[in-house]
Amino acid sequence: MRVGTNGRLRSPGRSTYPARYSAAGLVSRGLTNRPWPPAWRPQPMKSSYDVVIVGGGVHGLAAAYYLAANHGITDVAVLEKGYLGSGGSGRNTAILRSNYLTPEGVRFYDRSVKLYQRLATDLDYNVMFSQRGHLTLAHSDASLRTMRWRAEVNKVEGVDSEVIGPAEIKRLAPFLDVSTAARYPILGALWHPPGGIIRHDAVVWGYARGASARGVHIHQNTEVTGIEVAGGRVRGVATSNGDIATPVVLNATAGWSTLISDMAGVTMPVMTYPLQAAVTEPVKPFLATVIVSGTLHVYISQTDRGELVFGASVDPFTSYSMRGSLEFIEGLAGHVLELMPALTKVRLLRQWSGLCDMTPDFSPIMGPTPVQGFFVDVGWGTYGFKAGPVSGEAMAKCIASGATPEIIAAFGLERFGEGALVGEKGAAAVGH
Task: Give the footprint of another protein on this chain (CB under 8 A).
Answer: 256, 258-259, 267-272, 316-321, 323, 325, 327, 360, 416-419
Report, in Å, the least distance between residue 258 CB and another protein. 4
Question: Looking at residue 429, what DSSP letter applies?
Answer: S
Please name the residues in contact with 32: beta carbons below 8 A apart, sequence gap of 6 or more.
Answer: none
Beta strand pairing status for 162-164 and 188-192? antiparallel
Q: Which stretches does DSSP call E strand in 221-264?
A: 224-230, 233-239, 242-245, 248-251
Closest CA to 237 of 80, 52, 57: 52
Residue count of the chain: 432
Report, in Å, the least distance between residue 10 CB and another protein. 45
Report, in Å, the least distance between residue 266 CB and another protein. 10
**Chain centre to alpha carbon of residue 135:** 19
Report, in Å, the least distance between residue 402 CB and another protein. 25
Q: Cβ closer to another protein: 283 or 322?
A: 322
Q: Cβ closer to another protein: 141 or 330?
A: 330
| Contact indicator for 249, 260 with CB cutoff of 8 Å | no
Report, in Å, the least distance between residue 368 CB and another protein. 17
Q: Cβ closer to another protein: 105 or 274?
A: 274
Phi first, then psi, for residue 209 (nearest 5°) are -65, -45
Rounded CA-CA distance 217/418 in Å is 38
Q: Cβ closer to another protein: 159 or 270?
A: 270
Phi first, then psi, for residue 172 (nearest 5°) are -75, -35
| Contact indicator for 353, 277 with CB cutoff of 8 Å | yes
Three-class secondary structure assignment of 97-164: CCCCCCHHHHHHHHHHHHHHHCHHHHHCCCCCCECCCEEEEECCHHHHHHHHHHHHHHHHCCCCCEEE
Q: Cβ closer to another protein: 157 or 377?
A: 377
Closest CA to 36 of 125, 128, 127: 125
Q: Cβ closer to another protein: 70 or 318?
A: 318
Q: Cβ closer to another protein: 219 or 415?
A: 415
Report, in Å, the least distance between residue 272 CB and another protein. 6
Q: Cβ closer to another protein: 345 or 418?
A: 418
Plot region of 232 (φ>0 → left; ψ -120 to 50 → alpha; else → beta): left
| Contact indicator for 92, 415 with CB cutoff of 8 Å | no
Rounded CA-CA distance 387/432 in Å is 12
Report, in Å, the least distance between residue 417 CB and another protein. 5
Report, in Å, the least distance between residue 313 CB and another protein. 13
Q: Cβ closer to another protein: 215 or 269?
A: 269
Cis peptide before 18, with omega less than 30 degrees from 0? yes
Report, in Å, the least distance between residue 276 CB and another protein. 12
Q: Cβ closer to another protein: 35 or 417?
A: 417
Report, in Å, the least distance between residue 347 CB and another protein. 22
Q: Cβ closer to another protein: 258 or 293?
A: 258
Report, in Å, the least distance between residue 325 CB and another protein. 6
**Chain centre to alpha carbon of residue 332:** 22
Let me know if 420 is exposed, middle or buried by CB neighbors in 10 A (0-12, 13-18, 19+).
Answer: exposed
Rounded CA-CA distance 367/421 in Å is 15
